[in-house]
Structure formats: structure tokens, C-alpha cells
Amino acid sequence: MNKPIRILGIAGSLRNTSFNRGVLRAATQLAPDGAIIEIFELDGIPGFNQDQEQNPPEKVAEFKRKIREADAILFVTPEYNYSVPGVLKNAIDWASRPYGDSAWNGKPAAIMGASVGGIATARAQYHLRQMMVFLNMFPVNQPEVMIGNAAEKFDEQGNLTDETTKGFIRQLLENLVTWTHRLAEEPKKMEQGG
């Protein structure tokens, strides 16, 4: 039997009743058999300072350790001013440094996002995909889980209540697990000349 796929879930909001943190909580319940999602909270990560990248703060060191231990990464991002929130970009930057010691290198990933607006984090998600080119990450393409008009799909505590959305999340997580297994097989195939 395969070992469970360990997914590190990262939400780009610190807000108490955040829709995106609610999506991530829902994802932990919707993950398929054979996958476990562990949540990493970004609060407490200071602003990036390149003077400290060789000896980063403990929270950043822990973040990099968790990323390295994970088989795959799940980002759940709000959209701020047509891009990803600073807290998420800041965390991504920390874990990508120092040059040559990025924790993101080669990781399979999936992206989701919830917004109060109708464009539903599309612009933020494509910025995140653009970052993944340089980070050498491998995001699943579909389904694109872009949750618009979030106020109608969550309760007052920020818990996701919309069943259609839960179906998309379930599908994306299944695809992430399949994709992660596939990428893990590739090096073996190459060794075998396949």
C-alpha cells in the first residue's frame, strides 16, 4: 500500500473568520483516502529581510522544514488589489531563500481561493502560478477552484457551506494526489529508461 500523501495547506489570510482559512479547514475534511492535509498558519512570520536569509527567524525555519517534509503544497489565497496578499508573498519569498536553498523546488501544488467579488481570485491565482515558474513548482491545472461571492457560501464563522464548491475542492484534491504520485514515479521511469 502507498504511504499517505502529506499535503501542507497554507492560507494567505490571517483574518479570524477568513473565507480562505475556512476553505482550507474544509479541505482537510474533503481530502481523499490516502492523503492528509496539515495546516501551517502564517501569522508571526516577519517581513522578509535579506540580511537574515542565512539565519532566518525560527518560524521561517519551521516553515521551510514543513514544506520540505510535505509531498505536496495546497495554497488557498485571497485576492488583494488584483494579486496575492503580502503575507503570502512574504512567506513564499522567505522559503525561497537563500538562493539555491529554496524549500519549494520540485513540489507539486494546487491552488484555491475565495473572494467576496465575482472574479473570484482569478488574478491572484494566475500571479501565484507565475511565481511557481521561477520556484520550479508543479501546479495542477484543473479544476480551477475560484470561489466568488463568498459571503453567500460561508456561515458567520467562515465555514464553507456550499455543496457545489465542496465538490470542486474534492476533485482538485483527488487530482493533486494523482499528480503527486505521477511526479514521484517519473524519476523511477527515467532511471529505467522509460
Sites of contact with ligand FMN (CB under 6 A): 13, 15, 18-20, 78-82, 115-117, 119
**Residue 118: CB minimum distance to ligand FMN, A:** 8
By three-state DSSP, how is residue 145 classified? strand
Strands 145-147 and 138-139 come out as unpaired
Minimum CB separation of residue 92 from ligand FMN in Å reads 17
Q: Is 56 or 85 the residue whose CB approaches ligand FMN more closely?
A: 85
Closest distance of CB 183 from ligand FMN, Å: 29
- The SS3 of residue 87 is helix
Rg (CA), the chain: 16
- Residue 82 or 134: the one with the smaller Cβ distance to ligand FMN is 82
Distance, first Cα to last Cα, the chain: 23
Q: Are 36 and 2 in contact (CB under 8 A)?
A: no
- Can you tell me the distance from the alpha carbon of 79 to that of 187, in angstroms, rounded to the nearest whole number? 35
The smaller minimum CB distance to ligand FMN, of residues 9 and 78, is found at: 78
Min. distance of Cβ 192 from ligand FMN in angstroms? 45
Query: Closer to ligand FMN at the Cβ: 18 or 102?
Result: 18
Residue labelled with grid coordinates 494567505: 12
